[in-house]
Amino acid sequence: MTVSYENSKAVFDGIKAAGIRSISALPETWLGLLLQRAEDDPEVDLIQVAKEEEAVGVAAGAYFAGEPHILLMQNHGFFAAMNGIISLAQLYSVPLCMLIAVRGHWGEPYPWHTRGGIVTEGLLQALNIPYHHARDPALVAKEIAEAYTLSQSSLSPVALLLTRDLMEV
């Protein structure tokens, strides 16, 4: 299993097509090619954080500044960011558009990812975070734009889940 070059490009192109030029991220395998593109693109402002909760603060700062922003993280990073999501984004009605690589679910060969994969949807539901699974590279640009639009109109965190079907070949 390797990360899909074409589909990483489709996700990156979708982010740019949605008008987003500001990204915060914590790198992980599925996001690697995508982040490489972000780093190489002079139009894109990428901040790589040390822990995902920082990205919630960075995203809030970008939002206050009026800059469309997206967060890239793994589902385990979403867990690490949870207090920031609740006690900054949700408490203050700050929108977050999160693209979350969902490891540890259907087809997962690595035991260490599985517990997080199993609980991810339940946690999103517990936090009332709307989510959608992105599986098809032909649709992902539209799905990113829709996730961003809903985050802005609802002033809430929204999650687009990047699945194995999309990210691996």
Partner 1 sequence: MRRADCLELIYPEIEDKLVVTIMGACAQELYDLGHRENFFYLQHAMGLASSIGLGLANHLPHEKVIVLDGDGSALMNLGTFTTLARYRPRNFLHIIFDNGSLLSTGGFESHTTSGVTDLAAIARGAGIEHAASVASPMAFGEAFVEALERDDLGVIVARVDAVGPDNYGMDFALPENAFRFKRCVQERRAATGWTPPTQPGHASSA
Q: How far is the CB of 169 from partner 1 (least distance, A)?
A: 30
In the complex with partner 1, the residue whose CB is nearer, 56 or 102, is: 56
Residue choice 23, 49, 98, 100 for contact with partner 1 (CB under 8 A) = 49
Indicate the residue among 2 and 65 with the shorter CB distance to partner 1: 65
Q: Which of 4, 22, 74, 120 binds partner 1 (CB under 8 A)?
A: 22
Q: In the complex with partner 1, which residue's Cβ is closer, 4 or 22?
A: 22
Is residue 28 close enough to count as binding partner 1 by CB under 8 A? Answer: no
Least CB distance to partner 1 at residue 114 (A): 26
Any idea what DSSP says for residue 9?
H
- Binding part of the chain for partner 1, among 3-11, 40-48, 101-109, 119-127 by CB under 8 A, reads 40-48
Residue 159: how many other CB atoms lie within 10 Å: 27
Burial of 44 (0-12, 13-18, 19+ CB in 10 A): middle
Among residues 39, 64, 132, 169, the one that binds partner 1 under rule CB under 8 A: 64
DSSP bridge pairs for 168: 3
Helix 140-154 with 5-17: angle, nearest 10 deg: 40
Radius of gyration of the chain (CA): 14
By CB under 8 A, residue 157 contacts partner 1: no
Distance CA 12, CA 14 (A): 5
Buried-exposed string 56-74: b where 16+ CB fall within 10 A, e elsewhere: bbbbbebbeeeebbbbbbb
Read off φ and ψ for residue 99, nearest 5 degrees: -100, 115
Of the residues 40, 42, 43, 93, which one makes contact with partner 1 according to CB under 8 A:
93
Residues in the interface with partner 1 (CB under 8 A) total 41
